[in-house]
Amino acid sequence: MSRTAAPAPAGEVAPPGFRVARDLPIGRHALLAAFPGLDRLTPAERMVADPKARHRLFSETEIELVAQDLWMYVAPFTAPGGARREWRPVLSPDKDCIVIGESHLRTSSPLMLFMDIYHELCHVLQRRDGADLWPPGVSYVRRWTEVEAYRFVVVEARRFGVSDEFLRDYLRVEWISDREHRELLRTLDVPAK
């Protein structure tokens, strides 16, 4: 899950009100310490309509900032059986926690961080509902959990005018093949070039 942080193309910006605490020290923090006001943005309301459930999601979820070159992922409660052998995830057995690579938080565009944090919050909700986020033998682009989380952020990004070009780049992650990338684009109704 490593990546090189990248700025968004000119004109591609996160929605108003999205903030990032880029100077957060390495370690575990409240989600809203990293993304102040995230729970008050319209996508949060669309994600969790019930105010009490929304408050619980945003107040109980933590982030762990790590000195590694990676994007974000939900820390597993225990090591996933189907995970790649070289992946040594941070484990969080008793708390919902989203792991964030330091370079991603410090240097990625606000739009990229906006989409990533809401994507991972979708996974937190899915897991709370009993979903297996790492089912063995299922292609990344065919996991319903990934499709649902990507669909949520693609729809939200389109609401404030993010281009198909940015969405194509956003959906291009290094652990999928070109064929899988095209499949994900088709699934999410993002036109290929």
Predicted confidence at residue 140, as pLDDT, reads 85
Predicted confidence at residue 83, as pLDDT, reads 53
CB 98 within 8 A of CB 71: no
The single residue listed with the structure tokens 């484990």 is 91
Distance CA 51, CA 57 (A): 10
Residue 142, φ and ψ in degrees, nearest 5: -110, 0
Residue 61 included in any domain: yes
Structure tokens at 30: 């409240």
Mean pLDDT per block of 10 residues along the chain (193 residues) reads 46 86 97 97 96 97 94 89 68 93 95 96 97 88 94 94 92 88 93 87
Predicted confidence at residue 78, as pLDDT, reads 87
Residue 2 included in any domain: no
Residue 88 included in any domain: yes
Distance CA 42, CA 12 (A): 18
Predicted confidence at residue 13, as pLDDT, reads 84
Residue 90 included in any domain: yes
| Environment class of 86 (CB within 10 Å of its CB; exposed 0-12, middle 13-18, buried 19+) | exposed
Residue 5 included in any domain: no
The single residue listed with the structure tokens 């669309």 is 46
Number of folded domains that form the chain: 1
Distance CA 47, CA 155 (A): 12
Q: Which domain holds residue 81?
A: 27-187
Residue 142 included in any domain: yes
Structure tokens at 70: 């990676």
Predicted confidence at residue 85, as pLDDT, reads 58
Residue 193 included in any domain: no
Distance CA 137, CA 68 (A): 27
Residue 93 included in any domain: yes
